[in-house]
Chains A and B, each alone.
Chain A
């Protein structure tokens, strides 16, 4: 399989505050030797507690941050090469937590057109890309609305459309559902899965919601600047105690199955969805 993202021994630290400190002591590194390869067309969830370094890592993928040592490649392009910056950001688009901070225009379709306009795409092509992007996130009928009148989930989908209009190969989403209600969360997650499955866009999703991570092909757990676990959701969530120990959680159904197994009942270890839990319970009840 082709690797779209390749991180090689990345080390990164934020600069120390020079004002408070005449001789700035170096901050401790937030990323300590991270190496990771992500396959084209895959859906990877990244988990980690606050301050674990997961967002810092994500910001390396589209060259918002550059490694202190080590290398980051996006489709073979070195993010440290300034001349490649536009190409890299076109290939790897980023969506952030707060939709209100990402919307720049006063009409939905103009907002989606912002990136392709900046890339110098011809007008006719922009029109087509904007329409396609809005249809892909199911927001086409809102194309003439003002973003302020939309719900959080709708705004976040517009932000995703804005990234899709650049025709990226990879989208990195940093807690895109943190500010949304349950329905908004569901809308955004459905959109992400659809883009991954139907258009083959590589997805890197950073989240604190374990149920969302359970939908991915692969989960990478970052703890204290290193990769602690890297496996399928079933394998990662079956380590209930380890996940809790590092300040994370597992889906509720996984926890129930774990508790029943501990009590001596024959429940399989790898339960991560409601259906699997139901089946397992019906077997023993």
Chain B
């Protein structure tokens, strides 16, 4: 079922000045519940501007954003409610930590929602647990944590509000490979557990290939496509023209396919490539 829809969504910065620039141009989207979505696009393609419309940080110049079928700008007094339902985590969210303890920082959003003390406490614990943060950490100052844990604390603050839609802008920027992988697995587990929709804005094709079901691709202020991840990575040549690329392994597999090897189209992780190559090798051995 669709949870978020946009109809002809358009946003123009500095309208009427010489710096006028349309950052989002007639975007029609229909985003489903319970999905893990990757958002990719060249710098300046409009993906961040688009994301900021989903929770009403920006108001469309024209067009609509519908959450559960309701125009979020129809009644401005309800915008606060929209922001509880659509959580947005900016890049480097650890710079936004401010409370005395990690627990208080994670609880901040929930407090604003007017939840009971008990409910807040249980959500803080549950969320910290999902992100692999040990209980002892919760009473520490957030500023005494390591970089990766600080970022988890900041993300947990939004997750604890249990938004129907969670938007994460480059949650793995600056993390090492192991840290990236762990963070992405924890985010995917959160998504599965809460059955919410998670939008993951990323510059890493390898990461979105491994962790998302669908991809939203922006290019030059327009929606280039919104499709299943494997379908998008078939279009390697088009992606390159947009200043994007496909994962290294997908590129190798596609070259082999073009040379006539009988490989499936949807190989974009090392694991699937390995399975397909091994299957081909065994078939070859059997026919000899």
Contact = CB atoms under 8 A, between A and B. Distances in A.
Interface of A: 48-51, 97, 151-153, 175, 178-185, 208, 210-211, 244, 247-249, 251-253, 255-256, 259-260, 263, 265, 274, 277-278, 281-282, 284-285
Contacts of A252: 206, 247-249, 270
A183 B41 CA distance: 10
Contacts of A260: 274, 277-278
Contact of A50 (B179, B249, B261, B277): B179
Interface residues of B, number: 40
B29 interface: no
Interface stretch (B157-165, B169-177, B185-193, B230-238): B169-177
25 contacts: A48-B176, A49-B179, A50-B147, A97-B174, A175-B174, A178-B173, A179-B170, A179-B173, A181-B41, A181-B203, A183-B42, A183-B43, A184-B43, A247-B178, A248-B176, A252-B206, A256-B252, A256-B277, A259-B274, A278-B252, A278-B255, A282-B259, A284-B281, A285-B256, A285-B281
Nearest to A251: B248
A249 B175 CA distance: 12
Given A97-B174, A152-B43, A277-B252, 12 more contacts: A179-B91, A181-B244, A244-B178, A247-B178, A251-B248, A252-B270, A253-B252, A256-B249, A256-B270, A274-B251, A274-B252, A281-B252
B244 A183 contact: yes
A175 B43 CA distance: 18
B270 A248 contact: no
Nearest to B256: A281
Contacts of B251: 274
Report which residue of A49, A185, A248 has the largest number of chain B beta carbons within 10 angstroms of its beta carbon: A49
A51 B177 contact: no
Contacts of B170: 179
Contact of B179 (A180, A247, A278): A247
A182 B244 contact: yes
A255 B256 contact: no
B248 A265 contact: no
Contact of A51 (B44, B146, B256): B146
A208 B249 contact: no
Nearest to B249: A252
B152 to A, nearest CB: 13
Contacts of B273: 256
B18 interface: no
Contacts of A50: 146-148, 174-176, 179
Contacts of A49: 176-179
A259 B281 CA distance: 13
Contacts of A208: 174-177, 180
B281 A183 contact: no
Nearest to B280: A285
B97 interface: no
Contacts of A256: 249, 252, 270, 273-274, 277
Nearest to A208: B176
B264 interface: no
A153 B44 CA distance: 11
A210 B203 CA distance: 15
Interface in B242-279: 243-245, 247-249, 251-252, 255-256, 259, 261, 270, 273-274, 277-278
Nearest to B148: A50
A170 B251 CA distance: 34
Contacts of B261: 285
B139 to A, nearest CB: 14
Contacts of A175: 174
Interface string B41-70: 111100000000000000000000000000
A180 B256 CA distance: 29
Nearest to B147: A50
A10 B204 CA distance: 35
B125 interface: no
